[in-house]
Amino acid sequence: MRILLSTLALLATPAWAEPPQVVADTPVTASLVGQVMGDGAPVQVLLPQGASAHHHQMRPSDARGLQDAGLLVWTGPELTPWLDRAAGSLADGVAQLRLLEVPGTHLRSYGEEQGHDHDHGGIDPHAWLDPANARLWLTAIAEVLAAEDPGNAETYARNAAQAGQRIADLDASLKAQLAPHTGASLVVFHDAYGYFTDHYGLRPAIAVSLGDASAPSAARLSAIRDRIGTAGAACAFPEYASDPKLVQTAIEGSGIRMGDALSPEGGTASPGPGLYFDLLSGMAQAIDGCLSR
Ligand SMILES: [Zn+2]
């Protein structure tokens, strides 16, 4: 009898299982996870809304909370070095998914155009700005959620497929919106836009700061001013949570127009499942808005 009961309990587990407690590194990742989990499943985000993903310090309470989670979904140490050690010492039973390591992810390297900086190389982690990557990651998120919570596997797979279709639809409309600007050159604050400019046919943006959004040196600012002079850029964009004066200084006297602030890490969009869509369409809107003036 005891054997029968425990067998029943084992069989019943998936249907009664609670969705896992999911922790995400950034609001962007949380948005993708939220799309897959659906309504009513809160996702804890380690990076406060609007903070720089590159320079955060994890609070001790967050580090402790991570050990009680069911699943950590994060981009990778190239984006959030402050999460690397905690992710490397997770308690047994806390699963993790590193999005940059999902097979098939399109990865680009820093420095292909900004190449004079010897200390500036490696993988550019802002890979969500290629919508094809985001679609791929939805499927990977659904699979890892299903492994933790098999009773809801079908729901996760269905949600991921629907969200993937919504991203494909948005991507098609953004391609049409940005098509008139093919080959345009932009000035931006930090080196975060390579995936976006590649995907939408813009020239690689000239970044005032490096990929980790640190303040540029005087020598770098001077080199940037020279490049801007020859690149024929029409628009420059400050960035949320960074000092717009750095971009202003770089374009001073060049006649380049200043566009609306960009938010490549989702700092200005409302948190939640819709954030990814707001981020992409907001960026396209700001770029199109300035280049069309
Ligand atoms: Zn960044």
Euclidean distance between CA atoms 254 and 226, whole angstroms: 10
C-alpha of residue 230 to centroid of ligand 1, in Å: 26
Euclidean distance between CA atoms 98 and 89, whole angstroms: 14
C-alpha of residue 27 to centroid of ligand 1, in Å: 13
C-alpha of residue 280 to centroid of ligand 1, in Å: 15
- Residue 3 falls within a domain, yes or no? no
- Residue 83 falls within a domain, yes or no? yes
Residues 191 and 78 in one domain: no
φ, ψ at 182 (rounded to 5°): -50, 130
C-alpha of residue 263 to centroid of ligand 1, in Å: 9
Burial class (CB within 10 angstroms; exposed 0-12, middle 13-18, buried 19+) of 232: exposed
Residues 199 and 222 in one domain: yes
- Residue 120 falls within a domain, yes or no? no
Euclidean distance between CA atoms 88 and 66, whole angstroms: 12
Q: 93: domain CATH number?
A: 3.40.50.1980
Residue 120 has pLDDT above 90, yes or no: no
Which pLDDT band, with edges at 50, 70 and 90, does 159 fall under? very high
Structural domains counted in the chain: 2
Burial class (CB within 10 angstroms; exposed 0-12, middle 13-18, buried 19+) of 71: buried
Residues 156 and 223 in one domain: no
Residues 167 and 186 in one domain: no
Residue 13 has pLDDT above 50, yes or no: no
C-alpha of residue 249 to centroid of ligand 1, in Å: 21
- Residue 215 has a pLDDT of 84
Q: 47-65: per-residue pLDDT in tens?
A: 998 888 998 999 999 999 9
Range of the domain at 206: 180-291
C-alpha of residue 91 to centroid of ligand 1, in Å: 29
Residues 67 and 198 in one domain: no
C-alpha of residue 211 to centroid of ligand 1, in Å: 6
